[in-house]
Amino acid sequence: MPKIKAVNHVAVVVDDMDKSLSFWRDALGMELHELRDVPAEKSQVAFLPIAGAEVELVMPTSGDSGIAKYLVKRGPGMHHICLEVDDIDGMMAQLKAKQIRLINEAPRTAADGKKYAFIHPESTGGVLVELYQI
């Protein structure tokens, strides 16, 4: 039976990285581990690790990216929660068997080798959920 192991990260869409960091880094005092451009996603991402998990701030760097379209439609705010799973293929088969609506029918592989897939908010109570297998 596939098992959820941890919360890996929580992703927040922002429209102003400096303003957002003035809250997460400066007011809350969380450590900014890395601020990185992700050209493939036309976005800039800030990583703020906390107790084995991370808050990720994502800002579009181009108007035609998926995240830019999301921002126009929904505004800044919570984007998704990512759960680490020990067996993503097994978990996706289990979800399909329970008629859970998936965004990715099969897991994708990131540049760093992690496998990931998204579950549709329609089946989760309105929260976009990402699964990760490291």
119 — phi, psi (to 5°)?
-105, 135
The only residue of 11, 46, 59, 67 in contact with Co ion, by rule CB under 5 A: 11
User: Which among 70, 20, 74, 72 is positioned nearest to 45, based on CA atoms?
Assistant: 20
- Taking the least distance from each CB to Co ion, the nearer of 95 and 117 is 117
What is the smallest separation between the CB atom of 89 and Co ion, expressed in angstroms?
A: 19
Sheet holding 4-13, edge to edge: 34-38, 43-50, 53-60, 4-13, 77-85, 128-133, 115-119, 108-109
Q: Distance between CA atoms of 55 and 64, rounded to whole angstroms?
A: 24
Stretch that binds Co ion, among 9-17, 24-32, 41-49, 93-101 (CB under 5 A): 9-17
Of 14, 57, 82, 85, which one interacts with Co ion (CB under 5 A)?
A: 82
- The least CB distance from residue 10 to Co ion, in Å, is 9
By CB under 5 A, residue 131 contacts Co ion: no
Name the residue with tokens 């020990």: 86
Contact letters for Co ion, residues 37-76 (x by CB under 5 A): ----------------------------------------
| Interacting residues of 122 by C-beta distance below 8 A, sequence separation 6+ | 101
Q: How far apart are CA 57 and CA 13, in angstroms?
A: 6
Given the complex with Co ion, which of 29 and 39 has the nearer CB atom? 39
Which of 14, 44, 130, 131 contacts Co ion by CB under 5 A?
130
Q: Which residue ranges make up the site for Co ion (CB under 5 A)?
A: 11, 82, 130
